């Protein structure tokens, strides 16, 4: 399977999950708006999500995958199975201890970390504590799920791991639908959602375990022991945990600051959900596929192939991300109105969330490039360098958010996240180039300039065309008219961007055909190289 086809497999499954996420957020906006129960739920849910990114997705995609791949190459599946069981025993024990401690300390954690702006003893504070207690075990489920995902990705089974998040959205949609159908009040709906999150974590873990068994690998529980392999994993995983969770770290900082203003947490979450669509479909797909591919090429000593993989990954990422960023900047108001403005979500909320989304759009290419550049370090078992950059980025984010929030409220927090994201991108890129681990080829540089030009032309066309669709996007217009108007703008954007990109050389059919043929050619090339070596 070619690199692009693997991106499409993961991206397609992630796209399905993100569309379910859209449906979930639309129901959330209808049921809870940006009121106190929305703030309470999102604040409580952010905390297990932070730990999931820190100790699960970031750590295991960065540390577990290269080591697991190394065990397969060096000792076959039996060695990989033994390594997995050693890790599983330690991981399960550590997660159980963390969960128990966090559950007992939840009132203190909410008061000091999750939402220090919530008044202690208020209903919003009390509800946040209770919801967080229900949802925190989701961390344990998702951390074990991340390990199973890493095994599947290393075995080149990408679809099951990518499709598993859909179950979270399905369970939450079911909870929201039941709440709306029964006419439940916001507090009761928040309880339904919290139990739905926990049930989804258990379901995702079961699905991934079945996927691993189907891939021909089974794991059992071993007494936790600090074997050399486990020690090596922890040495790599701890820095990677911080690096992989940079977005969540910045968001939790933003949430702490935003908790001092009613509705701010919910507004940031609604905008985050929309920009996560292109970030998830492109960025996560590239990050998930690129790490095992780079690890394989470097283990085999194929440095030229590794460089080509990274160039093509960045090229593919920006080919799809630049127009998405331009569209979010220009059409933020129209998109928010169509997606959210109904029920408890009023026009004032639309203006606030649209401003946040436009700012996130400017940071989208940077956030995606982080996903594509980090594997250049992780595949070489260097997780400390990205961690240092992450710490610098977090410090910059804190300083900017604290400075800007008094003047620009939620938009100041979004601006701080974007600035810190682009700073991380720049540091990762420059360091890879200086070390000789990334050599930007002429084809990538040639196309990048032209893709930026194509995205700029598309943005200008959208700005001009949006004036003609404005009458159909007013609040008093029907939902069908609004949806058709937005889809017309999106269709125009696609025609202008792709037409311009192909016309000026930012993309070509030959480039796409070569990327799609890589899967057939690469194995033969590797075998031929191995013979010569």
Domains in the chain, number: 1
Residue 93 lies in a domain: yes
The answer as to whether 280 is a domain residue is: no
Q: Is residue 397 part of a domain?
A: no
CA angle 68, 73, 79 (to 5 degrees): 60
Q: Whole-angstrom Cα distance, residue 167 to residue 173?
A: 10
Burial 33-63 (b: 16+ CB within 10 A, else e): bbebbbbbbbbbbbbbbbbbbbbbbbbbbbb
Going residue by residue through the chain, which has 533 residues, state the pLDDT in tens, using 9 for 90 and above. Answer: 454 555 555 555 556 666 676 677 778 777 776 678 888 888 888 777 766 666 555 556 567 777 777 777 777 777 878 888 888 888 888 889 988 998 999 998 888 877 787 878 788 889 999 999 999 888 888 878 878 887 887 777 766 666 777 888 889 899 988 888 888 888 898 899 999 999 998 998 888 888 888 877 777 777 788 888 788 777 777 666 666 556 667 767 777 888 778 778 888 878 887 877 776 666 555 655 565 666 667 766 777 777 777 777 788 778 888 998 999 999 888 888 888 877 667 788 888 889 999 999 999 898 888 877 887 887 777 778 888 888 898 889 889 988 998 888 889 999 998 999 999 999 999 998 888 888 887 878 888 899 999 999 999 999 999 888 888 877 666 777 888 888 899 899 999 999 999 888 877 666 555 544 444 333 333 333 332 33
Q: Is 226 left (phi over 0), alpha (psi -120 to 50) or beta?
A: beta
Tell me whether residue 521 is exposed, middle or buried, using C-beta atoms within 10 angstroms of its C-beta: 0 to 12, 13 to 18, 19 or more: exposed
Residue 52, pLDDT score: 63
For residue 230, give Cα distances in angstroms to 59, 89, 143, 170, 513. 13, 10, 16, 35, 42
129 inside domain: yes
Enclosing domain of residue 73: 36-242
**Residue 426: what pLDDT?**
93
Q: What local confidence, expressed as pLDDT, does residue 135 receive?
A: 92
pLDDT reported for residue 308: 75
Q: Which residues contact 456 (CB under 8 A, 6 or more apart)?
A: 326
Q: Is residue 208 domain-resident?
A: yes
Tell the burial category of 116 from Cβ atoms under 10 Å away from its Cβ (0-12, 13-18, 19+).
middle
| CB atoms closer than 10 angstroms to residue 5 | 14
pLDDT at 391: 85
Smallest Cα–Cα separation from 419: which of 355, 366, 368?
A: 366
Residue 144 counted as domain residue: yes
Backbone CA torsion sign across 294, 297, 301, 304? negative
Residue pair 142/53 in contact by the 8 Å Cβ criterion: no
Q: In this structure, is residue 485 part of a structural domain? A: no
Q: How far is CA 111 from CA 107, 118, 129, 304, 407, in A?
A: 6, 7, 9, 52, 25
Question: What's residue 159's pLDDT?
Answer: 67
Per-residue confidence (pLDDT) for residue 315, from 0 to 100: 81
Residue 63 domain-assigned? Answer: yes
Using an 8 Å Cβ cutoff, are 153 and 288 in contact? yes
CB of 317 closer than 8 Å to CB of 324: no
Is residue 267 within 8 Å of residue 102, measured between CB atoms? no
Q: 219 and 81 in contact (C-beta within 8 Å)?
A: yes
What pLDDT is stored for residue 462 in this prediction? 92
């Amino acid at each position: 399977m070619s690199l692009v086809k693997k991106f499409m497999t993961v991206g397609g499954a992630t796209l399905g999950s993100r569309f379910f996420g859209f449906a979930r957020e639309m129901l959330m906006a209808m049921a809870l708006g940006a009121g106190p129960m929305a703030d309470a739920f999102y604040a409580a849910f952010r905390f297990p999500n932070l730990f999931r990114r820190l100790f699960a997705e970031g750590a295991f995609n960065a540390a577990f995958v290269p080591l697991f791949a190394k065990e397969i190459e060096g000792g076959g599946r039996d060695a990989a199975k033994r390594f997995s069981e050693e890790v599983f025993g330690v991981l399960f024990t550590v997660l159980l201890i963390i969960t128990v401690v966090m559950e007992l300390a939840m009132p203190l954690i909410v008061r000091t970390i999750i939402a220090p702006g919530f008044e202690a003893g208020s209903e919003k504070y009390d509800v946040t504590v209770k919801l967080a207690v229900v949802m925190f075990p989701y961390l344990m489920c998702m951390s074990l799920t991340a390990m199973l995902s890493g095994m599947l990705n290393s075995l080149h089974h990408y679809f099951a791991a990518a499709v598993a998040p859909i179950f979270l959205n399905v369970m939450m949609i079911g909870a929201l639908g039941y709440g709306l159908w029964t006419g439940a009040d916001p507090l009761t709906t928040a309880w339904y959602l919290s139990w739905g999150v926990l049930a989804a974590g258990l379901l995702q873990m079961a699905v991934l375990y079945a996927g691993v068994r189907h891939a021909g690998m089974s794991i059992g529980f071993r007494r936790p022991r600090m074997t050399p392999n486990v020690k090596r994993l922890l040495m790599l995983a701890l820095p990677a945990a911080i690096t992989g969770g940079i977005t969540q770290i910045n968001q939790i900082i933003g949430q702490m600051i935003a908790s001092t203003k009613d509705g701010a947490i919910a507004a940031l979450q609604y905008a985050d959900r929309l920009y996560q669509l292109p970030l998830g479909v492109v960025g996560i797909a590239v990050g998930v596929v690129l790490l095992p591919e780079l690890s394989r090429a470097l283990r085999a000593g194929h440095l030229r192939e590794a460089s080509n993989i990274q160039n093509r990954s960045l090229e593919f990422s920006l080919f799809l991300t630049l127009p998405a960023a331009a569209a979010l900047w220009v059409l933020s108001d129209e998109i928010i109105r169509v997606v959210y403005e109904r029920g408890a979500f009023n026009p004032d909320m639309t203006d606030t969330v649209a401003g946040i989304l436009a700012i996130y759009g400017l940071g989208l290419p940077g956030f995606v490039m982080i996903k594509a550049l980090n594997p250049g370090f992780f595949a070489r078992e260097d997780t400390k360098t990205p961690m240092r950059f992450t710490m610098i980025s977090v410090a910059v984010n804190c300083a900017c958010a604290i400075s800007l929030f008094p003047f620009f409220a939620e938009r100041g927090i979004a601006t701080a996240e974007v600035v810190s994201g682009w700073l991380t991108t720049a540091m990762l890129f420059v360091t890879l180039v200086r070390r000789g681990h990334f050599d930007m080829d002429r084809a990538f540089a040639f196309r990048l300039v032209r893709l930026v030009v194509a995205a700029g032309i598309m943005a200008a066309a959208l700005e001009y065309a949006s004036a003609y669709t404005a009458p159909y996007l007013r609040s008093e217009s029907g939902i069908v008219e609004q949806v058709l108007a937005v889809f017309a703008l999106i269709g125009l954007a696609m025609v202008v961007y792709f037409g311009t990109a192909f016309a000026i050389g930012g993309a070509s059919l030959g480039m796409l055909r070569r990327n799609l043929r890589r899967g057939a050619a690469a194995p033969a090339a590797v075998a031929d190289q191995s013979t010569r070596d």
